[in-house]
C-alpha cells in the first residue's frame, strides 16, 4: 500500500480531517497534521482504533490494509459511520471559500500556475466564464470553491497588508525545482510569516530535466520549514505549472488547509471587504475590484473605502456578468465610487448617503491631520512608538558576509526581557518591499541598513508609511544604536527611595475610613508617595497614600516638624504609635 495522508483516511471514514486528528490525539497518536502521511501499519492501526471506538462497529478492515496487497483506495460507507462529533467548532456563520495569494521568486512560475489553475479548474466555466480583469478568480474542485488573487508576488501581498487590510487566508509559495530557494523566495517566506498566514509550498517545474526536488526540500529544512514528507510541518506539493501536473493535488491541499482553518463567514453580518484593484476608466468612471471576506455586498449599497464613497451602481463577476450581490469569499468589480479608492482599503457599508459621506470626510480629515512624519531619529521613533517590550528589525546589508556579521552581533545583544524579532534579513538596498513588510508594525519596527541605503522608491514609501529607516557604515555604530533601542524597549524598572518618617499620634474615623493624625518626624511626606506601616519593627502594610491634609486643606507635601492627616488607600488598620516610612518609586536608568 502506498503511504496515505490523514485527510485521505478521514475522507474514507466519512469524517473531517480535524475530527480524525482530534480523535487520534485522544487515542495516543498526537501531533498529526492533515497532510501527514502514515505507513501501512499506522493506517491499519487507525482503522482499528476507529472501529474499536464503535463508530462503525460492523465495518470490516479493508483488504489492502490487512494484507497490504492492493493499491486500491478503501471505500467506507460513510452512512454507516456515526455522525461526527463536533469539536470546538464555531457554530455561527457558514464555511466560505478560502482567499489565496501566490508568492515566490521571479520566473519560478507564479503566473504560469495561476494560468494553469484558471485553464483547468475555473469555476462557472460552463457559463462562458472568460475572466475579466477583476484581479481575482475562482477555481472549483469537488464543488468547493477557492478564490485566487490574480496579482502574484509579495509586493501586492504586503501592499494590501500595509494599509491594514487582511486579505489572504492561505499563501502558495512557488519554488522552482531547478533553482530552489532564491532571494525573493526568502523575502516571500518572511512576508508570509509576518502576516501569520498558513503556507503551502508548490515545488514547480518538476518536468525540467535538472529539477532537484530534494535540494528544495533540503533548503526548506535549513530554513526551519521541513516538509511533512520529511517529517516536518510544511506542506509541499510537487507540480509542473506548465504541463498542468498535480494541479488538482495542490487545490486539494488548499481545501484541506482551508478546512483546518475553519474559514467561516456570516452572509447576513457586517461586510468585511477589501479593494484589490482600482483604476479610472474613461467610459465607466472609477472602477474597483474587491474581495468580500465576510457579509454580503449588494447593488445599491452605500459604500465607503478610505476617503472615497459612493453607491454601488453595478457589480460584475469575473465573466463580466452583472450580479446583484457578492457573497463571502467572492470577488467582483464595483462601479459607482465617486473617486478611485486605494488598493488595500477596506470597504464599509453605510446606511445612507449622508452616513457614507460623513465617514469618508472623517477619513479624509484624519488623513490630512496625520502630520506625523517618518521618524528621523531614535528619539522620534520612541516618541511615536508603542509601549511594548518588543522590537522588530528588517536588516539589509551590502553582502552576505556583512549581513551575517550584523545579524550575529545583533543576536548577541543581551538586554534582558525584550522580544527582538528579525522580520527579514537580506542582501541588497532597502527596497519598497522591505518598507511594506515593516509598515503594518511600524510602531515597533526599525529598518536597519548596513552599508546600504534605501532606494528612491523605498524612501518615498517609507515617508508615507512612517517607517523608521536607519543606515550605518560602521558595525559598531549599528550595534550600539540597536542595543540602545532594545534598552529603551525594556519595561521601566523602579526602585524605592525613602523620603521621610512619619509618626502616628491620633486616629479619626471618617466616612471613607480611618485618617491617621501624624507628625512628620523626618524628611517629608508627599501626596503621591507610598508608605510602609511599621509596628514594633514589623512591617504591617505597604500601600499608597489616598489623601494628605493639613487642617481642612488637601496638600501636596508636608515637611518635617509639621502635623498632617493622612489616609492610606484600602487600609484602615493603622494604630497610634505606628511608624510610617514614606518612600517614592524612582525609575532606574538602565
Comparing CB distances to ligand GDP, the nearer of 104 and 159 is 104
**DSSP 8-state secondary structure symbol assigned to residue 375:** P
Measured from the CB atom, is 241 or 423 closer to ligand GDP?
A: 241
The three cell numbers locating residue 76? 467506507
- Using only C-alpha atoms, the chain has a radius of gyration, in whole angstroms, of 32
Cα torsion 422, 424, 428, 430 to 10°: value is -80
Candidates 374, 363, 418; CA nearest to 164 is 363
Q: Output the residue with the shortest Cβ distance to ligand GDP.
A: 109
Closest separation between CB of residue 105 and ligand GDP, Å? 7
Helical H runs in 262-416? 353-369, 378-384, 400-412
Helices (H), 306-455: 353-369, 378-384, 400-412, 432-438
Give the residue with the Cβ less far from ligand GDP, 28 or 209.
209
User: Is the Cβ of residue 186 or residue 389 nearer to ligand GDP in the bound state?
Assistant: 186
DSSP state of 282: T
- What CA–CA distance (Å, rounded) separates 25 from 17? 12
Do the strands 390-397 and 445-450 form a parallel or antiparallel pair, or are they unpaired? parallel
Taking the alpha carbons at both ends of the chain, their separation in whole angstroms is: 64
Nearer to ligand GDP, 250 or 349 (CB): 250
Question: By the criterion CB under 6 A, which residues form the site for ligand GDP?
Answer: 104, 106-112, 152, 204-205, 207-208, 240-242
- CA–CA separation, 360 and 306 (whole Å): 6
The distance of closest approach from Cβ of residue 159 to ligand GDP in the complex, given in angstroms and rounded to an integer, is 17
At closest approach, how far in Å is the CB of 101 from ligand GDP?
13
Task: Record the cell numbers describing residue 75, joined without a space.
Answer: 471505500
Task: Please report which helix (H) or strand (E) contains residue 346, including its range.
Answer: strand 346-350
Smallest separation (angstroms) from ligand GDP to the CB of 231: 26
Nearer to ligand GDP, 27 or 213 (CB): 213
Q: Residue 311: name the closest of 285, 289, 336, 286 by CA.
A: 336
Q: Which three cell numbers stand for residue 34?
A: 492533515
Q: For 516, which DSSP code?
A: E
- By beta-carbon proximity to ligand GDP, the closer residue of 5 and 108 is 108
Shortest Cβ 241–ligand GDP spacing (Å): 4
7 or 157: CB nearest ligand GDP: 157
Q: Angle CA(378)–CA(381)–CA(383) in degrees, nearest 5?
A: 110
CB 176 within 8 A of CB 210: no
- Taking Cα atoms as reference points, which of 409, 318, 320, 309 lies closest to residue 351? 309
In terms of CB distance, is 208 or 357 closer to ligand GDP? 208
Place of cell 507628625: 519
Least distance (Å) from ligand GDP to the CB of residue 107? 4
Nearer to ligand GDP, 251 or 292 (CB): 251
Amino acid at each position: 500500500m502506498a503511504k496515505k495522508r490523514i485527510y485521505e483516511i478521514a475522507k474514507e471514514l466519512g469524517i473531517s480531517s480535524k475530527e480524525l486528528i482530534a480523535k487520534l490525539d485522544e487515542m495516543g497518536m498526537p501531533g498529526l497534521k492533515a497532510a501527514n502521511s502514515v505507513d501501512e501499519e499506522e493506517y491499519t492501526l487507525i482503522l482499528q482504533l476507529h472501529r474499536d471506538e464503535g463508530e462503525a462497529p460492523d465495518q470490516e478492515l479493508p483488504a489492502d490494509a490487512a494484507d497490504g496487497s492492493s493499491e486500491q483506495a478503501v471505500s467506507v460507507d460513510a452512512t454507516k459511520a456515526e455522525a461526527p462529533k463536533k469539536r470546538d467548532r464555531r457554530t455561527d456563520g457558514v464555511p466560505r471559500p478560502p482567499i489565496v495569494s501566490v508568492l515566490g521568486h521571479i520566473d519560478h512560475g507564479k503566473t504560469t500556475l495561476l494560468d494553469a489553475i484558471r485553464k483547468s479548474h475555473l469555476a462557472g466555466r460552463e457559463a462562458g466564464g472568460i475572466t475579466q480583469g477583476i484581479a481575482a478568480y475562482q477555481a472549483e474542485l469537488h464543488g468547493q470553491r477557492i478564490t485566487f488573487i490574480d496579482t502574484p508576488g509579495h509586493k501586492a501581498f504586503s501592499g494590501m497588508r500595509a494599509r491594514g487590510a487582511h486579505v489572504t487566508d492561505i499563501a502558495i509559495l512557488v519554488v522552482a525545482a531547478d533553482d530552489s530557494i532564491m532571494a525573493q523566495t526568502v523575502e516571500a517566506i518572511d512576508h508570509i510569516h509576518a502576516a501569520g498566514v498558513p503556507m503551502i509550498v508548490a515545488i514547480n517545474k518538476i518536468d525540467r530535466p535538472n529539477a532537484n526536488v530534494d535540494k528544495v526540500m533540503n533548503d526548506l529544512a535549513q530554513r526551519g520549514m521541513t516538509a511533512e514528507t520529511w517529517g516536518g510541518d510544511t506542506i509541499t506539493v510537487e507540480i509542473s505549472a506548465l504541463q498542468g501536473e498535480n494541479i488538482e493535488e495542490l487545490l486539494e491541499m488548499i481545501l484541506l488547509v482551508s478546512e483546518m482553518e475553519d474559514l467561516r463567514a456570516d452572509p447576513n453580518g457586517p461586510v468585511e471587504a477589501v479593494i484589490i484593484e482600482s483604476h479610472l476608466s474613461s467610459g465607466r468612471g472609477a472602477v474597483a475590484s474587491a474581495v468580500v471576506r465576510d457579509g454580503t455586498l449588494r447593488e445599491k449599497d452605500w459604500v465607503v473605502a478610505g476617503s472615497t464613497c459612493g453607491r454601488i451602481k453595478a457589480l460584475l463577476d469575473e465573466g463580466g456578468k452583472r450580479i446583484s450581490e457578492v457573497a463571502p469569499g467572492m470577488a467582483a468589480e464595483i462601479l459607482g465610487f465617486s473617486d478611485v479608492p486605494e488598493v488595500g482599503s477596506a470597504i464599509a457599508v453605510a446606511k445612507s448617503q449622508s452616513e457614507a459621506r460623513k465617514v469618508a470626510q472623517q477619513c479624509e480629515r484624519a488623513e490630512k491631520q496625520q502630520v506625523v512624519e517618518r521618524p528621523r531619529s531614535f528619539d522620534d521613533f520612541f516618541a511615536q512608538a508603542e509601549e511594548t517590550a518588543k522590537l522588530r528589525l528588517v536588516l539589509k546589508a551590502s553582502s552576505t558576509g556583512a549581513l551575517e556579521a550584523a545579524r550575529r552581533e545583533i543576536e548577541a545583544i543581551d538586554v534582558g526581557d525584550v522580544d527582538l524579532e528579525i522580520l527579514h534579513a537580506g542582501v541588497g538596498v532597502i527596497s519598497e518591499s522591505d518598507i511594506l513588510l515593516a509598515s503594518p508594525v511600524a510602531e515597533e519596527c526599525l529598518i536597519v541598513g548596513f552599508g546600504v541605503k534605501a532606494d528612491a522608491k523605498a524612501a518615498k514609501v517609507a515617508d508615507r508609511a512612517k517607517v523608521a529607516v536607519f543606515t550605518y557604515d560602521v558595525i559598531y555604530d549599528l550595534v550600539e544604536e540597536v542595543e540602545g533601542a532594545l534598552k529603551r524597549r525594556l519595561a521601566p524598572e523602579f526602585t524605592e527611595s525613602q523620603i521621610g518618617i512619619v509618626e502616628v499620634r491620633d486616629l479619626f474615623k471618617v466616612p471613607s475610613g480611618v485618617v491617621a493624625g501624624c507628625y512628620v518626624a523626618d524628611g517629608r511626606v508627599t501626596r503621591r508617595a507610598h508608605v510602609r506601616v511599621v509596628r514594633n519593627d514589623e512591617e504591617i502594610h505597604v500601600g499608597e497614600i489616598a489623601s494628605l491634609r493639613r487642617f481642612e486643606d488637601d496638600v501636596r507635601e508636608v515637611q518635617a516638624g509639621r502635623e498632617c492627616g493622612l489616609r492610606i488607600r484600602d487600609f484602615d488598620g493603622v494604630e497610634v504609635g505606628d511608624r510610617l516610612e514614606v518612600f517614592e518609586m524612582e525609575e532606574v536608568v538602565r
